[in-house]
Amino acid sequence: MSSEKRMPRWAWQRRKEDLSDELEAHLRLAVADRVARGENPEAARVAALKEMGNVPLIADVTRRQWGWEWAEHLWQDLRYALRQLRKSPGYTVTALLTLTLAIGANTAIFGLMYSLLLRSLPVYRPDQLVQIKLRIGPAQSTHEPNAMVSGGIYDALVANQRVFSGMCSWAAWPLDLHDSDGTRRIPTARATGGCFEMLGVHPALGRLFSAVDDQPGGAPEGYPLVLGYDYWRTRFGADPHVLGRVLNFHSGFGGKETTGVIIGVMEPGFESINVGDRPWIYAPSEIGDKDDRHGLQSSDQTLLARLKDGVAPVTAQAQIDPLFGAKVKAEKYQYWTVSNGSFQRTSEAHLVVVPARTGFSFLREYYTKPLYLIGGMVGLSLLVACAYLATLAATRALARRRELALRIALGASRIRVIRQLCCESLLLALTGSLLGVFFAWISERALLRFITEPGSDPPALGTAPDGAVMLFTVGLLVVTVLLAGVGPAWRASRVDPVSDIKEGESSVLSRRGSRPGALLIPIQIGFSLTIVVIAALMASTVARLLAVDPGFRTSGVTFFHADFSPRSTDYKIPAPLILALLDRIRQFPGVESASISQAHHLQPAFYLQEAMSKTLSGETRKDDMLPSLSVTPQYFATLGIPIINGRDFTVGDKAGAPKVCILSRSAAEYFFPGQNALGATLQLQDGDKYKPTWVIGVVGDTLYSGFRDHARRILYQSYLSGDTWNSGGDVSVRATTTTAAVDAVRGAFHDLAPDVALDRPETMADLVSHSIGRERLLAVLSSFFGVLTLGLTAIGLYGLLSYAVVRRRPEIGVRMALGASPASVVRMILRDAVLLVLPGILLGAAGAWASTRLLGNLLFGVKPLDPAICAASVLLLAVAVALACVLPARRAASVQPMDALRRE
Amino acid sequence: MAKQSERYQNRIELLQGTLDMLILQSLQWGAQHGYGIAQTIRLKSSELLQVETGSLYPALHRLERQGWVTSEWKLTESRQRAKYYQITPLGREQLASDRARWESMVRAIASILENPQPEGGPA
């Protein structure tokens, strides 16, 4: 046995062989010694062996000196567990699938929650950051302060404050970049010069701009621009010579044609102070319109600051609020505020300083509650999965009672047996976690798609594997092993070697055995019922939202937002350009109608108009907040809104022509009750006076901002008459296919207005699904987990009942021999089931009651504890339970008394 | 299995310290293999002390793990492969301190045995 010829092996194996070589050498030396002393070789060998003792045992004891005994045992346990798992592939696959789904879903949801709600901004000392918000009205009002403030507030504070070591005003507003194939809107962060220094972020290449770079007009060669790391890699191929390149663009809303020069690339990891935002370019704040940047009126900035050491947010607020108050007073500025349903002006406003370790995100407002709900739900699912696995593990261990008893009788310690049993669940949980992490990675993308705004990229959330998320997954793993492994193993290891070996299988049948999972089943049923009720409520909400008639058609329309800033003067877009574009779009094949409007249906934002009328009875009717849409001819045809009376706008309704408007039916009925609104006069506020406007048409009522909206009074004005307040225009096209619409609009703009930036298309279907995105997200996930947990619970119950039938076979046999009918045996089994299910339903009712409190305003058209929904959920549960009972009950009823008794 | 290994461990326990010292001492005169060490101890003690193989090898491997001996495969005079153990400087220090402790213990025990009459005790 020459070791030189042996293949290279594991060091451990080599060492083991080395030891056995050594002991063999010892034996050879001893034999040789005895032979040299004149003994017969045969006798010498026997004597030497006898003197040496038990060689494998010596090797064992010696190996123990190496201090690796535990690893050796672990390896043995793992191999043993693998063998056990291979022996029951059905169990292994179910368990793995369950764990993958449960751990994966938990990881995905936690990843999303973590990156949206919990993660610190990736900047220097994020704990020192605060956000400055604006509260319009009295300081002690309980209204949530506005997160968006105006650039004028930054100006008021930056020079005179003494509480911050730095300040940063940040606005996300795109630049319209001109390049070889037209003009594109580039997501841009407009940051004040001191932002990057204050945040403590660094360039990956070149430099970042600083306070001196943030000047009106920029440097001679253009405004300094910093590229986002991903944008640099994807659009510039990570070109290191990108520095100094000049870009031509229009700075958007109220801005101008200008140039910028690339001075650096942002470090990877940092995107924005707005969590989920991923700007492609960082530009200095002065790049935009002067009034917009320095005035008090436009609230488009997020204002962050870094507290000086030892300054509390309250102290900072007390110092900066007077500075702001002085500015408002000096400029005699008045904020609009809505109180009791009408607009009022007030000069009272206050700044609020709040901690901003995690930055700021609009998404939080909408998704915090759903995410916590979903998080709780998938957490419950994991517990149900653990309970299910624990029940299975316990049943398996009971079936192996005899084997375990034999092991203990042969000298295995109880700890060792527990360790062996736990190894199985550890192996399962470990594999399940790995698969789960992969599943999470896939499902996170799907989740992000639910919360993506139409026409934009998914939010930059939770895409990178993160230490905290991994830690969470490991935590789940530990919990799983503890719940599904250690507990059952502990109980299973309590065997009495003598009686268990003697009785063998029959000990499984004896009545004294504990019933694994008898406690867990009610909990599983409770959790499942809770999730099923949530699922039913959310599904019914989605169904009811989709059943709402919005008053316009929800298919076939595609919207494009175009920024006409380069062509507009004073926010007015020339009518000839509009008409030419619409004409060209309509010529494309597949296009049925096209229109341009300012704002459109299914958008969260409104333009509001104050309007007044005199009714026949002489009463004055006023609406301070009448949603107003400016539209070109064909808007109603495109959206599919019926014209009830009168006519659509025409190209003749232009600037200089008599002012005309169209009203929704409710608006017509409100302003002109009991009369024909056509030809009537509506007074529209224009500055300080009212302008008479003739009503030329009445259209059907529609929703506006979403499906939870009610039919509103809406005012439509003629886009061509120049009643616009914004250089942006929304092109809407009804076409046979989305592709036809996209080709038509892209083609028309490419030919007639290549300098106008077009946003990506948003289809009506996208807008509809986004407007019910939260509800759909909850409905889909809760249905999925409802089915999963219900399935696991039913399988668990089935297993438990089947086991009970096997266990009670002799008893059933005796009962039947004494005259019990199969029906009464079935009743007995069902009574067992009901005893498990009833407490579960009570628990589920409590869970549903508590969790539906949280659903609150997410519901639509159903009450949190809708009787029909609750009844249906319980019914569904009952069906699942009944299915789980059928087979065991039948098996019990078919017990042959003689058979059962003979086995006893 | 567990019971048997306990029996072995009890023997190690009994000889612990002394066995380590005897092994180190027998390596003083040069590298030696396990069998040789056992023989040396047997011969030097005039066959009074028999080292069990089941105690010897765990002790050798323990000493090696402590860094008091090193091992290497070599050929014996009769051209057989055997694993030779060699004492290290650290092992020599250990031996010296073991020996000092042993000698003071022997002295202490001897003084008790040689003075069977305790002071002030009953005659």
Q: How confident is the model at residue A688 (pLDDT cuts 50, 70, 90)?
A: confident
Task: For residue B103, give how far its alpha carbon lies from the nearest alpha carbon of chain A (Å).
Answer: 28
Burial of A796 (0-12, 13-18, 19+ CB in 10 A): buried
Q: Is A30 on the interface with B (CB under 8 A)?
A: yes
Core vs surface per residue A100-109: b (16+ CB within 10 A) or e? bbbbbbbbbb
Between CA A710 and CA A201 the distance in angstroms is 47
Quick one: pLDDT at residue A462?
64
Q: Are A687 and A584 in contact (CB under 8 A)?
A: no
Q: Are A501 and A405 in contact (CB under 8 A)?
A: yes
Q: Is A14 on the interface with B (CB under 8 A)?
A: no
Q: Are A718 and A697 in contact (CB under 8 A)?
A: no
Quick one: pLDDT at residue A749?
92
| Residue A389 confidence (pLDDT) above 50 | yes
DSSP letter, residue A484? I
Q: Mean pLDDT of all residues in chain A?
A: 86
Between CA A231 and CA A91 the distance in angstroms is 48
Between CA A794 and CA A781 the distance in angstroms is 20
Q: What is the mean pLDDT of residues A291-306?
A: 89
| Residue A822 confidence (pLDDT) above 80 | yes
Q: Cβ–Cβ of B58/A32 closer than 8 Å?
A: no
Q: Are A95 and A430 in contact (CB under 8 A)?
A: no
Chain B hits for A58, CB-CB cut-off 8 Å, are 8, 53-54, 57-58
Quick one: pLDDT at residue A152?
92
Q: Which residues contact A881 (CB under 8 A, 6 or more apart)?
A: A525, A794, A797, A833, A837
Closest CA to A156 of A311, A321, A287: A321
A754 compared with A421, residue with greater pLDDT: A754
Q: Which residue has the tokens 């970049």?
A: A177
Interface test with A, best of B10, B53, B64, B69 (most A CBs within 10 A): B53
Between CA A29 and CA A124 the distance in angstroms is 70
Chain B hits for A410, CB-CB cut-off 8 Å, are 1
Q: Cβ–Cβ of A22/B34 closer than 8 Å?
A: yes
Q: Is A899 on the interface with B (CB under 8 A)?
A: no
Q: Cβ–Cβ of A60/B57 closer than 8 Å?
A: no
| Residue A2 confidence (pLDDT) above 60 | no
- The SS3 assignment for A299 reads coil
Chain A hits for B1, CB-CB cut-off 8 Å, are 410-411
| Residue A765 confidence (pLDDT) above 50 | yes
Q: What is the mean pLDDT of residues A520-537?
A: 91
Q: Cβ–Cβ of A29/B2 closer than 8 Å?
A: no
Percent with pLDDT over 90 in chain A: 35
Give A344's strand partners: A337
Chain A hits for B78, CB-CB cut-off 8 Å, are 32
Between CA A830 and CA A436 the distance in angstroms is 37
Q: Per mean pLDDT, which range of A374-388, A546-560, B2-16 is the poorest?
A: B2-16
Amino acid at A41: P
Q: What is the mean pLDDT of residues A232-238?
A: 92
Quick one: pLDDT at residue A730?
93
Between CA A808 and CA A148 the distance in angstroms is 69
| Residue A196 confidence (pLDDT) above 90 | yes
Between CA A275 and CA A292 the distance in angstroms is 23
* String of DSSP letters for A404-447: HHHHHHTT--HHHHHHHHHHHHHHHHHHHHHHHHHHHHHHHHHH
Task: For residue B105, give how far its alpha carbon lies from the nearest alpha carbon of chain A (Å).
Answer: 27
Q: Are A419 and A73 in contact (CB under 8 A)?
A: yes
Q: Cβ–Cβ of A65/B65 closer than 8 Å?
A: yes
Segment (H or E) for B39: helix B34-44
Q: Closest CB to B4: pick one of A52, A57, A62.
A: A57
Q: Is A24 on the interface with B (CB under 8 A)?
A: no
Q: What is the mean pLDDT of residues A178-183?
A: 81
Q: Which two tokens stand for residue A741?
A: 């619409």
Chain A hits for B39, CB-CB cut-off 8 Å, are 33
Q: What is the dihedral of CA A41, A45, A47, A48, to 10 degrees?
A: 130
Chain A hits for B35, CB-CB cut-off 8 Å, are 25-26, 29-30, 33
* String of DSSP letters for A100-154: HHHHHHHHHHHHHHIIIIIPPPSSS-GGGEEEEEEEES-TT--SPPBS-B-HHHH
Q: Is A47 on the interface with B (CB under 8 A)?
A: no
Q: Cβ–Cβ of B35/A30 closer than 8 Å?
A: yes
Angle, CA A94 vertex, CA A91 and CA A99 arms, to 5°: 120
Q: How confident is the model at residue B17 (pLDDT cuts 50, 70, 90)?
A: low
Between CA A828 and CA A846 the distance in angstroms is 28
pTM of the complete model: 0.76
Q: What is the pLDDT of residues A580-639, one digit of tens each?
A: 999 999 999 999 999 999 889 988 777 888 899 988 888 899 888 889 999 999 999 999
Q: Cβ–Cβ of A23/B57 closer than 8 Å?
A: yes
Quick one: pLDDT at residue B118?
57
Quick one: pLDDT at residue A509?
41
Quick one: pLDDT at residue A171?
93
Burial of A56 (0-12, 13-18, 19+ CB in 10 A): exposed
| Residue A362 confidence (pLDDT) above 60 | yes
Quick one: pLDDT at residue A267?
94
A:B CB pairs within 8 Å:
78
Give A190's strand partners: A171, A283
Q: Residue A595 to residues A61, A275, A571, A611, A636: CA-CA distances in angstroms?
A: 89, 35, 19, 25, 9
Q: Closest CB to B57: pick one of A51, A62, A67.
A: A62
Q: Count H helices, E strands: chain B? A: 5, 3
Q: What is the pLDDT of residues A497-520, one digit of tens each?
A: 666 666 544 444 444 445 556 778
Closest CA to A698 of A648, A647, A663, A649: A663
Q: Count H helices, E strands: chain A? A: 28, 26
Q: Per mean pLDDT, which range of A102-106, A522-526, A593-597, B117-121 is the poorest?
A: B117-121
Q: What is the mean pLDDT of residues A170-180?
A: 88
Q: What is the mean pLDDT of residues A781-808?
A: 85
Task: Answer positive or negative: Cα dihedral of A228, A231, A235, A240.
Answer: positive
Q: Closest CB to A61: pick one of B5, B35, B78.
A: B5
